[in-house]
Amino acid sequence: MGHQRTPERTCLACRRKAPQGALVRLVALDGAVHVGLGPGAGRGAYVCPAPACLEAAANRGKLSRALRAEVAALPAGGLAALVRAATERKVVALLGQGRRMRCVASGQEAAADRVRRAAAALLLLAVDAPSEADRLAAAARAAGIPVRRALTREGLGEALGASPRWAAAVEDRQLAAGLERYLTFLENGAAGGGGGRAAGPGGKHRGPRVGGKQGG
């Protein structure tokens, strides 16, 4: 049997073809644009998560034609904000799944232990992690462990059912791969226009916390 071919889609902005999973899916619902990550029912349009493509795709006429439905105009940066929020919700959901599977070690000491033993498939750091996180990140990279940043300390702790913390080590490789895929959307530009902020599990955007309890 031959290998199953990966579906490709075309970015409605730059017209580049790419694997479906590397693009963001847009759908029209009740006159508004909604973001779907992954395949879904109904007509959708696809766009690269790069800032230039998100900006170009946000044109009301372009979106209406691509989706074959009239949709409301988006404010400047509106599409990027929708993609950012959807991506962060997905990351929170995956971390919750990892917590239930007991394959995510959260907190500085637990994460550092998994890095030392090369038992982590991904090191996740909060966007407002303290400077000491750089040392842990360097150790992880030296061990060949990918490092990504997402959520605030408060958001990361909430996603893992714990107090605020700035580090988590994902031990399951499949879960780590899923997280990396969605975090790539943010790194490719969907986080732009957020002012460096990251959403917590409730979808509210918070700036980096100053002072107070840092957690692990």
What is the per-residue pLDDT across 128-152, written as a single tens digit (0 to 9) for each? 999 999 999 999 999 999 999 999 9
How far separated are the first and last CA of the chain, in Å rounded?
49
CA dist 145 and 180 (Å) reads 12
Helical pair 78-101 and 173-185, crossing angle rounded to 10 deg: 170
The stretches in the chain having pLDDT less than 50 are 1, 191-214
- Does residue 47 sit in helix, strand or coil? strand
CA dist 158 and 131 (Å) reads 22
With CA atoms as reference, report the closest residue to 183 among 116, 98, 94, 117.
94
Topology given in CATH for the domain delimited by 85-198: 60s Ribosomal Protein L30; Chain: A; (3.30.1330)
**pLDDT score for 92:** 95
Total Cβ atoms within 10 A of residue 14: 15
pTM: 0.79
Question: Which parts of 37-194 are beta strand (E)?
Answer: 45-47, 104-106, 122-125, 147-149, 167-170
**pLDDT score for 194:** 39
**pLDDT score for 4:** 66
- Does residue 94 contact residue 178 with C-beta atoms inside 8 Å? yes
User: What residues does CATH 3.30.1330.30 cover in the chain?
Assistant: 85-198
CA dist 49 and 186 (Å) reads 8
